[in-house]
Structure 1
Amino acid sequence: MESTKVQSEGGLNVTLTIRLLMHGKEVGSIIGKKGETVKKMREESGARINISEGNCPERIVTITGPTDTIFKAFAMIAYKFEEDIINSMSNSPATSKPPVTLRLVVPASQCGSLIGKGGSKIKEMRESTGAQVQVAGDMLPNSTERAVTISGTPEAIIQCVKQICVVMLESPPKGATIPYRPKPASTPVIFSGGQAYTIQGQYAIPHPDQLTKLHQLAMQQTPFTPLGQTTPAFPGLDAAPPASTHELTIPNDLIGCIIGRQGTKINEIRQMSGAQIKIANAMEGSSERQITITGTPANISLAQYLINARFRDVTAMWTDPSSMTTP
């Protein structure tokens, strides 16, 4: 969450950016016919409301503005969702009204502060607002962000969002945040030489749209071999593109999870991707380390995917509030 502070006559006026994760149906409800609903929300709240592009099952809704405009926008969204629930109930025999649910997208480095020592902060938020609050155990794919789900009455949700904003302003994100971007495909896809492949275990498998092309290339031959072997991943694609280099910077506090105990994880990534991976020594005064990946575009794409996957695997240590020693 980005924040800038501006001193105004009425005290501290803080501009915030909050990201929400919504399903297509929820986004449709927020946009409304010909965009009328979102236009009204923008005008009445004064907040900037942007909706991510793309034909994805999930979309990111970004709300930016001074805190009071953000709370107005949240209130309008929560009441709109409640209205949708009431409308859907008029056609069903259900008697108890389900709660309104919103999902925030929060940098993982701030989730510890939201949970609090031994879960104290999240418990306090639940008790004081009456809303249910849950912090996801895993990071969202290919990002360093986690979903925070809030459910309850619109009033409880608004109070809860206010408290979350306060915590996030007091504990800004640490290190670089890799934002979550919803993908149209349900499985990771890498591109190489104009072809798309999905990753399944240790294999790169042609993406369904590409099967016909690859079938023509690899007639009567093995469809794939484990990545990291010296034989071409797909017979017929022998003309491998020349090696290239890609550089990444990783925060120091995350480098350990990439390297693994005695280098086990980085060696595994090297073997699976077939790429050369060099990690620069820590520079004095720098909070980041440079990683250089060398190989074909396919090797590099796969190495990047595997490095991102490691970020998700290590979140268990942040998940269990009882293991936390700092608020």
Structure 2
Amino acid sequence: MNINEREVLTSDGGLNVTLTIRLLMHGKEVGSIIGKKGETVKKMREESGARINISDGSSPERIVTITGASEVIFKAFAMIAEKFEEDINACMINSTVTSKPPVTLRLVFPASQCGSLIGKGGSKIKEIRETTGAQVQVAGDLLPDSTERAVTVSGTPQAITQCVRHICTVMLESPPKGATIPYRPKPSTAGTVLAQPHASSAFTIPGQYAIPHQDLTKLHQLAMQHIPLTSLGQNNPTFPGLEATIATSSHELTIPNDFIGCIIGRQGSKINEIRQMSGAQIKIAGATDGSAVRHVTITGSPANISVAQYLINARLSSVVAGLSVL
């Protein structure tokens, strides 16, 4: 996320700032935002007052740039998150699953600001998570050919929007250092997985992940090479350039009971597949009386943990869309 700051006076004499927020989306996510004949994005522009620009469509990933006064930006962001939630709800109409996955969005911002976002010992990101209720993850690796990193935020539209407000505050207080080389997605001809035998394309829910085969290969390589990806929910977050790098840490997830079967798979086939691909140890706690969720503990390097989370999220999303069976 790049934030360009310019102070302006609001109508009531208060201070406001002009921001630019960059989002990284897959093609189908962008299609949801654009809508038929561009009607959805036109409505978002008119109702929020924000400038919303979308990069060209030659790449499977697109950059959505939102510019405007801070309150205008947050209104546009809330509209995007709410649209993705509508899409998830629509996918669940004919689904037997009763619990829905959270809305997930990826933001892009200069790597030099990551330390401020994480805070000493992970204190700042912990504060943001506890205050907003949103889940936050920061990639430890730079996006290709850039000096930017991706931040993944998930939760309800309200939690996500509140979380972005907090992130923007941190970024405004800690401007990027040095020149920023922005991430520009490149065209790709990579094949896809998570498609069913007769499906014509990879699965994706707007706001969630599709997983091209090439990306899975890279993720697996990252995990095996122990290249750090920082999961901000970890007990011991790590980041290049920060103090100590912890080789092994743990991260806990909660998954609704309705979803746990699809993560385990028949005779444990799916959970074993995720363990093998990610290189992480994954333990699923037993069911607790009266609880609607199961606790999952992921242990390994930061890269192992991030890959495992990525694969679990994709598995949940595929079930909701009906492309997989429990």
State the TM-score, normalized to the length of structure 2. Answer: 0.58
Greater radius of gyration (CA): 1
Name which of 21, 36, 39 aligns with 1:33.
Answer: 36
What's the offset of the Cα at 1:178?
A: 0.5
Whole-Å Cα distance in 2 between the matches of residues 7 and 70 of structure 1? 16
Q: CA deviation at 1:5?
A: 1.5
Count of residues paired in the alignment: 200
Amino acid in the other structure paired with 1:320: T
Q: Which amino acid aligns with 1:125?
A: I
Measure the CA separation in 2 of the matches of 1:96 and 1:62: 31
1:159-170 correspondence to structure 2 within 5 Å: 159-170=162-173
Pick closer, same or farther for the CA change 1:89–1:320 going to 2, 3 Å. Answer: same
What residue is the counterpart of 2:120 in the other structure?
117
- Is the CA contact (8 Å cut-off) linking 1:13 and 1:67 kept in structure 2? yes
Query: Retained in 2: the 8 A contact 1:317–1:323?
Result: no
Aligned to 1:3: 5
- Residue 92 of structure 1: how far off its partner (Å): 1.8
Offset of residue 84 of structure 1 = 0.2
Match of 1:324 in 2: 242
CA–CA distance in 2 between the matches of 1:148 and 1:17? 15
AA aligned to 1:53 is D
State the partner residue of 1:71.
74
Partners of 1:37 and 1:54 in 2: how far apart?
17
Question: What is the match of residue 212 of structure 1?
Answer: none
Q: Which among 33, 49, 54 is matched to residue 51 of structure 1?
A: 54
Deviation at 1:324, TM superposition (A): 3.0
Q: Secondary structure at the match of 2:6?
A: strand
> What amino acid is aligned across from residue 109 of structure 1 in structure 2?
S
Q: Which runs of 5+ in 2 are unaligned?
A: 191-224, 231-236, 244-326
Mapped to 2, the partners of 1:127 and 1:13 lie a distance apart of: 26
How many percent of aligned residue pairs carry the same amino acid? Answer: 76
Q: 1:145 is aligned with what amino acid?
A: E
CA distance in 2, matches of 1:78, 1:317: 25
Residue of structure 2 in register with 1:84 after alignment: 87
Which segments of 5 or more consecutive residues in structure 1 lack a partner in the other structure? 188-312
Higher strand share: 1
1:94-147 alpha-carbon deviations (Å, 9 max, x no partner): 211100001000100011111111111111011000000011111111111000
Cα pair 1:30 1:37 within 8 Å, conserved: yes
Q: Which of 175, 178, 195 is the aligned partner of 1:175?
A: 178
Tell me if structure 1 keeps the 8 A contact 2:137–2:151: yes
Is 1:158 aligned to 2:161, yes or no?
Answer: yes
| 1:2-33 deviation per Cα after TM superposition (whole angstroms, max 9, x unaligned) | 21122444321100000000010100000000
Q: What is the CA–CA distance in structure 1 between the aligned matches of 2:33 and 2:228, rounded to whole Å?
A: 34
One-letter amino acid of the structure 2 residue matched with residue 180 of structure 1: Y
Tell me which residue corresponds to 1:272.
Answer: none
Which residue, out of 180, 184, 188, partners 1:185? Answer: 188
After TM superposition, list the pairs within 5 Å mapping 1:1-327 onto structure 2.
1=2, 2-8=4-10, 9-185=12-188, 316=228, 320=238, 324=242
Which residue number corresponds to residue 210 of structure 2?
Answer: none
Residues 113 and 38 (structure 1), Cα distance of their counterparts in 2 relative to 1, 3 Å cut: same
- Distance (Å, rounded) in 1 between the aligned partners of 2:58 and 2:35: 17
| Counterpart AA for 1:3 | E
Contact 2:140 2:239 in 1 (8 A): no
The CA RMSD over aligned residues, in Å, is 2.3
State whether residues 23 and 57 of structure 1, in contact with CA within 8 Å, keep that contact through their aligned partners in structure 2: yes
SS at match of 2:158: helix
Q: Aligned partners of 2:122 and 2:146: how far apart in 1?
A: 24
Question: What amino acid is the match of 1:22?
Answer: M
C-alpha distance in 2 between matches for 1:323 and 1:50: 33
What is the alpha-carbon distance in structure 2 between the residues aligned to residue 155 and residue 10 of structure 1?
27
- Counterparts of 1:52 and 1:182, CA distance in 2: 9
